[in-house]
């Protein structure tokens, strides 16, 4: 009779060794599969980075590196758009010319007609021009109100107003100088000045005192030459 097999018999040891060998083989295969999967993932990531780099190069084009800082010209030269220059001096010169052209010492008494209402017409203009102005045959297209202006500011504003209106092809304007009711002694300070300045402007052909509904003694209706 054969002796019974024990736990430490050669037969049992062989079976256990075979089982251990299969287990080791399975673990080695699993590890190999994991390593292969990791390597495949790494290669796929590298391929994606390379493809993205190639896409950037194709989109941007050839790139030239800047010179090192120790060499001249290492900074990029950017062309900045400069703002348009403001002709400040020309504006000052124009203002000075306008102030000199409109003198406060100009004698207008001999040029003004003081019949039933004050009026002026440039030599060569017939009296019908004044009558038409008084009747309102020309519609008033623009207005300048000088209430609250000091003399210097009023002179500059009037000169610019007449010049711009003439350039725009405007024929008839109204200039409000006020009746002087709020001035010291209730004397219309600007009234005489405005008349003098208007007569000195070559664009002005004639002017009359406004009708009561248009300002009366506090305003002038002015006819301008065709530009």
> Most confidently modeled of 68-77, 106-115, 123-132?
123-132
Q: Is 104-224 CATH 3.30.1370.110?
A: yes
Round the average pLDDT of the chain to a whole number and report it.
77
Collapsing DSSP to helix, strand or coil, 39 comes out as helix
The pLDDT, as a whole number, for residue 105 is 52
What pLDDT score does 175 carry? 97
Instruction: Answer whether residue 160 shows pLDDT above 50.
Output: yes
Distance CA 113, CA 119 (A): 5
Tally helices (H) and strands (E) across the chain: 5, 6
Q: Is the pLDDT of residue 128 over 50?
A: yes
pLDDT of residue 26: 83
Residue ranges of the domains in the chain? 9-62, 104-224
Supply the pLDDT for residue 49: 76
pLDDT digits (tens, 9 = 90+) for 15-47: 667 777 778 788 888 888 888 888 888 888 787
Tokens coding 48: 């994606």
Residue 162 pLDDT exceeds 70: yes
């Amino acid at each position: 009779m054969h002796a019974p097999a024990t736990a430490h018999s050669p037969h049992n040891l062989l079976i256990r060794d075979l089982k251990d060998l299969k287990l080791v083989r399975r673990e080695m295969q699993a590890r190999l599969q994991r390593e292969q999967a990791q390597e495949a993932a790494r290669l796929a990531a590298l391929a994606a980075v390379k493809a993205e780099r190639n896409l950037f190069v194709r989109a941007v084009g050839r790139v030239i590196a800047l010179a090192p800082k120790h060499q001249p010209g290492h900074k990029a030269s950017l062309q900045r758009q400069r703002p348009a220059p403001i002709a400040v001096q020309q504006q000052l010169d124009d203002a000075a010319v306008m102030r000199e052209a409109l003198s406060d010492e100009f004698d207008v008494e001999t040029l003004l007609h003081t019949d039933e209402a004050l009026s002026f017409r440039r030599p060569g203009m017939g009296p019908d021009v004044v009558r038409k102005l008084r009747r309102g045959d020309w519609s008033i297209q623009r207005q300048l109100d000088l209430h609250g202006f000091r003399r210097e500011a009023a002179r500059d504003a009037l000169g610019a107003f007449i010049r711009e209106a003439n350039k725009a092809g405007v024929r008839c304007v109204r200039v409000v100088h006020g009746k002087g009711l709020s001035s010291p002694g209730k004397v219309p300070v600007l009234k005489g000045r405005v008349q003098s300045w208007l007569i000195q402007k070559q664009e002005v052909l004639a002017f009359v005192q406004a009708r009561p509904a248009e300002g009366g003694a506090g305003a002038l209706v002015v006819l301008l030459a065709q530009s």
